[in-house]
Amino acid sequence: MGINLAKGQRIDLTKTNPGLTKVIAGLGWDTNRYHGGHDFDLDASAFLTDANSRVIQDSDFIFYNNLVHSSGAVEHTGDNRTGEGDGDDEQIKIDFSKVPSHVHRIAITVTIHDAEARNQNFGQVSNAFVRLVDEETNREVLRFDLGEDFSVETAVVICELYRHNGDWKFNAVGSGFAGGLAALCRNFGLEV
């Protein structure tokens, strides 16, 4: 069992885990599927940004319509449209050794698809988490449980992995946004 982090905590990933080069960010959640009569479809995404948290090129945005970064450094394993069951609902694989030099941060986010039309928000989502697993050993390195701090938000920056002095670190962000995926894209400098 890895380390449990609270919102705002940071941990040095590669310094405290020598040899760690490939991780799986497993994201999970539960929803109140009967609220409003519509099923929930939550989607994980990764924004590969520069040091100023801006996406340089559209291909640095990994989501359900662009599953693999051209470098092979980041791969979304596919959209889970129901979120049913235990364990990870969606996964994003990261190979630190392949991350291009222009990328300083990888923000992992979750949004609610068609949230406005379905009258859904993160206040109706519970037990949301991210866990990082060493892909080589299948050992859980860390876990961040989001808590129930959201109400009207339709998008959340769950965590950030960032480069610092040649090492990779993890930041438990847990920051919510109204406006869904479009708001997140604008936040990271993408045209919508």
What are the start-end ranges of the E strands in the chain? 3-5, 10-12, 22-31, 42-49, 61-62, 74-76, 90-95, 105-112, 125-134, 140-145, 155-164, 167-177
List domains and CATH numbers for the chain.
3-187 (2.60.60.30)
pLDDT at 150 over 90: no
Nearest to 171 by CA among 5, 10, 7: 10
Q: Long-range contacts of range 161-164, CB-CB < 8 Å, 24 or more positions apart?
A: 161/13, 161/94, 161/105, 161/106, 161/108, 162/104, 162/105, 162/106, 163/99, 163/103, 163/104, 163/105, 164/12
**pLDDT confidence of residue 106:** 99
Task: Specify the 3-state DSSP secondary structure of 155.
Answer: strand
Residues 93-114 have a mean pLDDT of 97
86: pLDDT strictly greater than 80: no
* pLDDT greater than 60 at residue 83: no
* pLDDT value of residue 79: 63
Model pTM score? 0.93
